[in-house]
Amino acid sequence: MVQIREAGEEACQKSLHNLYKVGRIKTYCLKREKWEFMIGLFVEILAVLVASAFVMIVHELLKSIAYVLTGRHCQKGDGRRIFRIFQYVDSIGWILFLTCNAGFSKPFMYRLKEKDTNAAIGLTGFLTLAVLTMAALTVYVLKVRFIQYDDGTDFWNQLSYFIVALNGYVILFSISLFIVNLVPTITSDMALLIMAVSPKSLIPLARMDAGLKGVLLLLIILGVVGGLSNMVINTISRFILL
Protein backbone atom coordinates (compact mmCIF):
# COMPACT_ATOMS: atom_id res chain seq x y z
CA MET A 1 0.00 0.00 0.00
CA VAL A 2 2.88 2.37 0.83
CA GLN A 3 4.49 1.69 -2.56
CA ILE A 4 1.23 2.31 -4.36
CA ARG A 5 0.74 5.57 -2.44
CA GLU A 6 4.27 6.73 -3.27
CA ALA A 7 3.79 5.82 -6.91
CA GLY A 8 0.55 7.81 -6.95
CA GLU A 9 2.20 10.83 -5.38
CA GLU A 10 5.04 10.64 -7.90
CA ALA A 11 2.60 10.42 -10.80
CA CYS A 12 0.66 13.35 -9.39
CA GLN A 13 3.82 15.45 -9.10
CA LYS A 14 4.77 14.60 -12.69
CA SER A 15 1.31 15.60 -13.86
CA LEU A 16 1.51 18.90 -11.99
CA HIS A 17 4.99 19.48 -13.40
CA ASN A 18 3.74 18.81 -16.94
CA LEU A 19 0.79 21.12 -16.42
CA TYR A 20 3.16 23.81 -15.15
CA LYS A 21 5.35 23.39 -18.24
CA VAL A 22 2.32 23.54 -20.51
CA GLY A 23 1.10 26.66 -18.71
CA ARG A 24 4.47 28.35 -19.10
CA ILE A 25 4.53 27.45 -22.81
CA LYS A 26 1.03 28.83 -23.32
CA THR A 27 1.93 32.02 -21.46
CA TYR A 28 5.08 32.38 -23.55
CA CYS A 29 3.11 31.83 -26.77
CA LEU A 30 0.49 34.36 -25.76
CA LYS A 31 3.16 36.93 -24.90
CA ARG A 32 4.93 36.24 -28.20
CA GLU A 33 1.69 36.58 -30.18
CA LYS A 34 0.91 39.85 -28.38
CA TRP A 35 4.41 41.16 -29.09
CA GLU A 36 4.17 40.18 -32.78
CA PHE A 37 0.76 41.87 -33.01
CA MET A 38 2.08 45.08 -31.44
CA ILE A 39 5.11 45.16 -33.75
CA GLY A 40 2.93 44.52 -36.80
CA LEU A 41 0.47 47.23 -35.73
CA PHE A 42 3.29 49.74 -35.22
CA VAL A 43 4.77 48.99 -38.66
CA GLU A 44 1.37 49.35 -40.34
CA ILE A 45 0.61 52.66 -38.59
CA LEU A 46 4.04 53.93 -39.62
CA ALA A 47 3.34 52.89 -43.23
CA VAL A 48 -0.01 54.74 -43.16
CA LEU A 49 1.53 57.94 -41.79
CA VAL A 50 4.47 57.91 -44.21
CA ALA A 51 2.33 57.04 -47.25
CA SER A 52 -0.33 59.67 -46.51
CA ALA A 53 2.28 62.38 -45.83
CA PHE A 54 4.09 61.45 -49.05
CA VAL A 55 0.90 61.65 -51.15
CA MET A 56 -0.16 64.96 -49.56
CA ILE A 57 3.27 66.55 -50.04
CA VAL A 58 3.78 65.44 -53.65
CA HIS A 59 0.23 66.45 -54.61
CA GLU A 60 0.42 69.95 -53.14
CA LEU A 61 4.08 70.64 -53.93
CA LEU A 62 3.62 70.06 -57.66
CA LYS A 63 0.49 72.25 -57.61
CA SER A 64 2.51 74.98 -55.90
CA ILE A 65 5.26 74.69 -58.51
CA ALA A 66 2.62 75.05 -61.24
CA TYR A 67 1.33 78.15 -59.44
CA VAL A 68 4.77 79.77 -59.27
CA LEU A 69 5.54 78.96 -62.92
CA THR A 70 2.23 80.22 -64.32
CA GLY A 71 0.97 82.76 -61.78
CA ARG A 72 1.51 86.44 -62.52
CA HIS A 73 0.50 87.59 -59.05
CA CYS A 74 2.92 85.55 -56.95
CA GLN A 75 4.35 87.28 -53.93
CA LYS A 76 8.06 87.77 -53.56
CA GLY A 77 9.52 84.73 -51.83
CA ASP A 78 6.77 82.29 -52.91
CA GLY A 79 9.38 80.40 -54.95
CA ARG A 80 11.15 79.53 -51.69
CA ARG A 81 8.13 79.15 -49.44
CA ILE A 82 6.55 76.43 -51.56
CA PHE A 83 9.40 74.05 -50.66
CA ARG A 84 8.52 74.00 -46.96
CA ILE A 85 7.08 70.59 -47.62
CA PHE A 86 5.50 69.81 -44.25
CA GLN A 87 3.12 72.76 -44.61
CA TYR A 88 1.13 70.53 -46.98
CA VAL A 89 0.44 67.89 -44.31
CA ASP A 90 -2.97 68.65 -42.81
CA SER A 91 -3.14 67.33 -39.23
CA ILE A 92 -6.86 66.50 -39.40
CA GLY A 93 -6.43 64.99 -42.84
CA TRP A 94 -3.54 62.89 -41.49
CA ILE A 95 -5.74 61.50 -38.70
CA LEU A 96 -8.51 60.75 -41.21
CA PHE A 97 -6.08 58.89 -43.45
CA LEU A 98 -5.06 56.80 -40.44
CA THR A 99 -8.59 56.02 -39.28
CA CYS A 100 -10.75 56.20 -42.44
CA ASN A 101 -8.35 55.47 -45.34
CA ALA A 102 -9.17 58.90 -46.80
CA GLY A 103 -8.32 62.48 -45.96
CA PHE A 104 -7.23 65.80 -47.42
CA SER A 105 -4.09 67.89 -47.73
CA LYS A 106 -3.35 71.54 -46.96
CA PRO A 107 -2.80 73.63 -50.10
CA PHE A 108 -0.49 76.59 -50.49
CA MET A 109 -2.24 79.96 -50.22
CA TYR A 110 -2.72 80.83 -53.89
CA ARG A 111 -3.74 84.19 -55.36
CA LEU A 112 -6.43 82.92 -57.72
CA LYS A 113 -6.70 85.72 -60.26
CA GLU A 114 -5.85 84.11 -63.62
CA LYS A 115 -7.92 81.51 -65.46
CA ASP A 116 -4.86 79.82 -66.95
CA THR A 117 -3.20 79.57 -63.52
CA ASN A 118 -6.31 78.02 -61.97
CA ALA A 119 -6.47 75.52 -64.82
CA ALA A 120 -2.77 74.69 -64.50
CA ILE A 121 -3.01 74.12 -60.74
CA GLY A 122 -6.19 72.03 -60.94
CA LEU A 123 -4.95 69.84 -63.80
CA THR A 124 -1.57 69.42 -62.09
CA GLY A 125 -3.31 68.18 -58.94
CA PHE A 126 -5.40 65.54 -60.73
CA LEU A 127 -2.54 64.46 -62.99
CA THR A 128 -0.16 64.16 -60.03
CA LEU A 129 -2.52 61.80 -58.21
CA ALA A 130 -3.13 59.77 -61.38
CA VAL A 131 0.60 59.43 -62.06
CA LEU A 132 1.28 58.53 -58.40
CA THR A 133 -1.33 55.78 -58.62
CA MET A 134 0.07 54.34 -61.86
CA ALA A 135 3.67 54.61 -60.64
CA ALA A 136 2.87 52.79 -57.39
CA LEU A 137 0.93 50.13 -59.31
CA THR A 138 3.90 49.66 -61.66
CA VAL A 139 6.26 49.25 -58.71
CA TYR A 140 3.85 46.70 -57.23
CA VAL A 141 3.63 44.67 -60.45
CA LEU A 142 7.37 44.72 -61.13
CA LYS A 143 8.76 44.29 -57.63
CA VAL A 144 6.60 44.56 -54.52
CA ARG A 145 4.25 41.62 -55.19
CA PHE A 146 7.26 39.29 -55.12
CA ILE A 147 8.40 40.40 -51.65
CA GLN A 148 7.78 37.71 -49.04
CA TYR A 149 7.33 38.08 -45.30
CA ASP A 150 5.78 36.18 -42.39
CA ASP A 151 4.71 36.85 -38.81
CA GLY A 152 8.26 37.05 -37.48
CA THR A 153 9.50 40.12 -35.62
CA ASP A 154 13.03 40.28 -37.04
CA PHE A 155 14.13 43.50 -38.74
CA TRP A 156 14.24 42.32 -42.34
CA ASN A 157 10.85 40.64 -42.10
CA GLN A 158 9.26 43.79 -40.70
CA LEU A 159 11.04 45.92 -43.31
CA SER A 160 9.58 43.73 -46.06
CA TYR A 161 6.12 44.12 -44.54
CA PHE A 162 6.61 47.89 -44.28
CA ILE A 163 7.56 48.18 -47.96
CA VAL A 164 4.54 46.14 -49.07
CA ALA A 165 2.18 48.12 -46.81
CA LEU A 166 3.71 51.45 -47.87
CA ASN A 167 3.22 50.65 -51.55
CA GLY A 168 -0.38 49.58 -51.00
CA TYR A 169 -1.26 52.67 -48.98
CA VAL A 170 0.30 55.02 -51.56
CA ILE A 171 -2.03 53.49 -54.16
CA LEU A 172 -5.05 53.68 -51.85
CA PHE A 173 -4.42 57.25 -50.65
CA SER A 174 -3.68 58.57 -54.14
CA ILE A 175 -7.05 57.27 -55.31
CA SER A 176 -8.92 58.50 -52.22
CA LEU A 177 -7.36 61.98 -52.45
CA PHE A 178 -8.35 62.07 -56.14
CA ILE A 179 -11.95 61.32 -55.14
CA VAL A 180 -11.87 63.94 -52.37
CA ASN A 181 -10.70 66.58 -54.87
CA LEU A 182 -13.69 65.84 -57.11
CA VAL A 183 -15.85 67.56 -54.49
CA PRO A 184 -15.70 71.30 -55.36
CA THR A 185 -14.70 72.74 -52.00
CA ILE A 186 -13.00 76.09 -52.46
CA THR A 187 -9.43 74.64 -52.22
CA SER A 188 -10.01 71.47 -54.25
CA ASP A 189 -8.66 70.71 -57.71
CA MET A 190 -12.20 70.55 -59.09
CA ALA A 191 -13.00 74.05 -57.78
CA LEU A 192 -9.86 75.39 -59.47
CA LEU A 193 -10.97 73.93 -62.80
CA ILE A 194 -14.49 75.33 -62.37
CA MET A 195 -13.06 78.78 -61.64
CA ALA A 196 -10.79 78.47 -64.69
CA VAL A 197 -13.86 77.93 -66.89
CA SER A 198 -16.05 80.46 -65.07
CA PRO A 199 -14.29 82.97 -62.78
CA LYS A 200 -17.69 84.22 -61.57
CA SER A 201 -18.24 80.84 -59.87
CA LEU A 202 -15.84 81.80 -57.07
CA ILE A 203 -18.55 83.55 -55.04
CA PRO A 204 -21.14 80.70 -55.28
CA LEU A 205 -18.43 78.15 -54.44
CA ALA A 206 -17.35 80.23 -51.44
CA ARG A 207 -20.94 80.34 -50.19
CA MET A 208 -21.34 76.58 -50.51
CA ASP A 209 -17.89 75.79 -49.12
CA ALA A 210 -18.86 75.14 -45.49
CA GLY A 211 -21.72 72.83 -46.46
CA LEU A 212 -19.64 70.93 -49.00
CA LYS A 213 -16.82 70.46 -46.48
CA GLY A 214 -19.33 69.14 -43.92
CA VAL A 215 -20.76 66.63 -46.40
CA LEU A 216 -17.26 65.58 -47.49
CA LEU A 217 -16.12 65.08 -43.91
CA LEU A 218 -19.20 62.97 -43.21
CA LEU A 219 -18.56 60.83 -46.29
CA ILE A 220 -14.98 60.27 -45.19
CA ILE A 221 -15.90 59.36 -41.61
CA LEU A 222 -18.66 57.00 -42.75
CA GLY A 223 -16.13 55.19 -44.93
CA VAL A 224 -17.80 56.05 -48.25
CA VAL A 225 -14.65 57.57 -49.79
CA GLY A 226 -12.44 54.76 -48.48
CA GLY A 227 -14.92 52.19 -49.78
CA LEU A 228 -14.98 53.79 -53.25
CA SER A 229 -11.19 53.82 -53.27
CA ASN A 230 -11.06 50.11 -52.47
CA MET A 231 -13.61 49.44 -55.21
CA VAL A 232 -11.34 51.22 -57.71
CA ILE A 233 -8.35 49.17 -56.55
CA ASN A 234 -10.32 45.92 -56.83
CA THR A 235 -11.43 46.88 -60.35
CA ILE A 236 -7.84 47.63 -61.38
CA SER A 237 -6.66 44.36 -59.84
CA ARG A 238 -9.32 42.41 -61.72
CA PHE A 239 -8.83 43.90 -65.17
CA ILE A 240 -5.23 45.09 -65.25
CA LEU A 241 -3.08 43.16 -62.78
CA LEU A 242 -2.44 39.52 -63.62
State the residue range of the domain holding 30.
2-239
Mean pLDDT per 10-residue interval, the chain, length 242 residues: 47 49 50 71 94 97 91 78 93 95 90 81 96 93 85 79 94 97 93 88 87 95 94 83 54
Domain count across the chain: 1
Distances in whole angstroms, Cα of residue 31 to Cα of each of 18, 44, 149, 206, 218: 20, 20, 21, 55, 39
Residues composing the chain? 242
C-alpha–C-alpha distance, residues 79 and 88, integer Å: 15
Beta strands in the chain (DSSP E): none
Alpha-carbon span 195 to 180, nearest angstrom: 18
The pLDDT score that the predictor gives to residue 152 is: 67
